[in-house]
Structure 1
Amino acid sequence: MAASLTLPPLHVLIAAPRGFCAGVDRAIMIVERALEKFGPPVYVRHEIVHNRFVVDGLRARGAVFVDELDEVPDGRPVVFSAHGVPKLVPAHAQARGLDYLDATCPLVSKVHRQAERQVEAGRHILFIGHANHPEVIGTFGQVPEGTMTLIETEADAEAITTAPGQSLAFLTQTTLSVDDTASIVAILQRRFPDIAAPKGEDICYATSNRQAAAKEIAARAQAVLVIGAPNSSNSLRLVEVAERCGARARLIRSADDLDLEWLGDIATLGLTAGASAPEVLVRGVIDALGQRFAITEEEVRTSTEVISFKLPRGLEAA
């Protein structure tokens, strides 16, 4: 007990909401229930969610992660990741007679359906997102080639040209920076006053909520740690949000990535986690910090999430 009194104090502001969202919960549960129902191995096309800890845990239980359907043997079930897939993928699975389970987040599926409706209405879609992200690839794969154009930056929004008289709509990736996206949308609406907007916000509730909580802790902390994967869009956006609020910010996968030199001599640290990072990683970071600091914790809650999504038919009672 006496030894703990000699440790330097560190006040940790823990963002809430943080970590798993309803779409990630559902996707992981789909793989777990599929393993219970069919027995291992169950194949998963791409990472079910962007988190190595989660993927490794499912792999240990019998999930096999593959890049393409060609790697799935006949007769074994396959799960599609939470980020969504182009239409060609389930069509390929059906052609092979594979049992497949679609773990696409329902909020991503909502964007897919909007894309189809806008194209059916004769509109060309300007899609705000990040090139090569699985969600973007999946959304582009819902509509015929050439009916959607990617907009990544404000400069893209200023430069894009369209055919005279072309009706336009815009949609967005669900895991973008709320502030950056608003700036891009403002440019598109200034340049194309008649552009059709999505029904409701495309950026998902979990992304918006985590960014709002990150702003709150970053305003009070000298540094912010974001737990997440380098390929997790929503986690990277949390780092950017914290930096814009004036805090130093860094993305870490887990406590193993803690850099005490980078933390330096600070009194207040902000801590949050991307939507695919489990709470066990948050506690692991706090426990590791407790080896070097006398920790006091304060949860900073900006909203409460109660959303949950149903599992696909046939898995509810697996």
Structure 2
Amino acid sequence: MSTSRLPLNILLAAPRGFCAGVDRAIQIVERAIERFGAPVYVRHEIVHNRHVVERLEALGAVFVEELDQCPDDRPVVFSAHGVPKRVPAEAERREMIFVDATCPLVSKVHVEAQRHHAQGRDVVLIGHAGHPEVIGTMGQLPDGTIALIETVEDARTFTPKDPARLAFVTQTTLSVDDTADIVAALQTRFPDIAAPHKEDICYATTNRQAAVKTLAAQCDLVLVIGARNSSNSVRLVEVALTAGADQAELIASAADIDWSWLDGKTTLGITAGASAPEDLVQGVIEAARERFDVKIDAVKVTDEDVVFKLPRILEEQSPA
């Protein structure tokens, strides 16, 4: 009986996986457990990946949805997605120790929104309803001063209180192309709308989408490793299909692969969302090697060297 395997060319996207904000958020939880001991509470999933969450739970992290599930006498970490202003205010009122793991690039959007509000503008947030980052950004301003726009159609029908005093900010993990279309629709209707000083969609989202665009048209199938509640991972699937991949699927790990997807296919693209660890990527590659004669080519669009500092509270000497 023949043991020869069919050839499979894997195009491996680079950059992929963890970004600096995710890496920092995970380190914050790990350092908080080292400094304060277990348990350390974390409001919301620190990043959108069950594998990451379960590993941190094993170290002593307890994940909750709201602050009222946390005791007063244990530290709490706020997730990388950011939180409404009321959350740290409540933690201060309760005299809790809290560590804010909000990605600095999300914090930049918060600062922009607050600056526009202070200058008398109403703010438009381009983003997805219900996403924690959107909830956090909208929670920086008083009700009625920030409006959510999700689609080009929303941009065409939106009615501001004062069209002459308007600004927009965006969620950091959106589709670059879809967002450009929404911004164009807003700018057509409101030529004086104030834009961010620098693009709000973060470097990691942009780079991962660029890598997928570069490889997608060459692929019979693109596998995106990430969670279903991870905005940037879901966008990568959409970008792959738009850029010409025959098929694109979101998987949490190699265990989710339906190998019939690869029947008759010769070129597989692989990438990972910004909250997916590299060991999951390697797990998919190993699973493919068990079934095919694999050849790997990297498709690199840029190098990433961004690093964010940890909060000062974690650099201080541990309590006695």
Match of 2:130 in 1: 132
SS of aligned partner of 2:22: helix
Kindly provide the amino acid, as one letter, of the partner of residue 37 in structure 1. R
The whole-number CA distance in structure 2 between the counterparts of 1:164 and 1:179 is 28
The structural deviation recorded for 1:316 is: 3.2
- Check conservation: 1:124, 1:166, Cα contact below 8 A: no
| Deviation string, structure 1 residues 140-179 (Cα, Å, up to 9, x no partner) | 0001110011000000001111235541001100000000
Match of 2:233 in 1: 235
The whole-number CA distance in structure 2 between the counterparts of 1:162 and 1:87 is 24
Match of 1:306 in 2: 305
Match of 1:117 in 2: 115
| Deviation string, structure 1 residues 33-64 (Cα, Å, up to 9, x no partner) | 00100111000000000000000000011000
Match of 1:283 in 2: 282
Range 212-221 or range 129-138, more displaced: 212-221
The structural deviation recorded for 1:280 is: 0.2
Kindly provide the amino acid, as one letter, of the partner of residue 144 in structure 1. P
SS of aligned partner of 2:238: helix
Match of 1:192 in 2: 190
SS of aligned partner of 1:277: coil
Match of 2:28 in 1: 30
The structural deviation recorded for 1:195 is: 0.4
Kindly provide the amino acid, as one letter, of the partner of residue 286 in structure 2. D
Match of 1:214 in 2: 212
- Check conservation: 1:84, 1:134, Cα contact below 8 A: yes
- Check conservation: 2:99, 2:313, Cα contact below 8 A: no
| Deviation string, structure 1 residues 239-265 (Cα, Å, up to 9, x no partner) | 000001121100000011011112221
Residues 62-211 of structure 1 mapped to structure 2, 5 A cutoff: 62-164=60-162, 166-211=164-209
The whole-number CA distance in structure 1 between the counterparts of 2:90 and 2:314 is 22
| Deviation string, structure 1 residues 226-285 (Cα, Å, up to 9, x no partner) | 000000000000000000112110000001101111222111100000000000000000
- Check conservation: 2:225, 2:250, Cα contact below 8 A: yes
| Deviation string, structure 1 residues 104-125 (Cα, Å, up to 9, x no partner) | 0000000000000000111111
Match of 2:295 in 1: 296
The whole-number CA distance in structure 1 between the counterparts of 2:72 and 2:169 is 37
Kindly provide the amino acid, as one letter, of the partner of residue 158 in structure 1. R
Gaps of 5+ in 2: none
The structural deviation recorded for 1:71 is: 1.1
Gaps of 5+ in 1: none
The structural deviation recorded for 1:220 is: 1.3
The whole-number CA distance in structure 2 between the counterparts of 1:168 and 1:73 is 41
SS of aligned partner of 1:314: helix
- Check conservation: 2:48, 2:230, Cα contact below 8 A: yes
- Check conservation: 2:15, 2:302, Cα contact below 8 A: yes
Structure 1 residue ranges (4+ consecutive) displaced by more than 3 angstroms after TM superposition? none
The whole-number CA distance in structure 2 between the counterparts of 1:47 and 1:209 is 24
Give the total of aligned pairs.
315
Instruction: Give TM-score, length-normalised by structure 2.
Output: 0.97
The whole-number CA distance in structure 2 between the counterparts of 1:239 and 1:71 is 35
Kindly provide the amino acid, as one letter, of the partner of residue 107 in structure 2. S
Distance 1:271 1:61, change over 3 A: same
**Of residues 21, 37, 40 in structure 2, which corresponds to 1:39?**
37
**Of residues 48, 59, 63 in structure 2, which corresponds to 1:61?**
59
Aligned-pair identity in percent equals 65
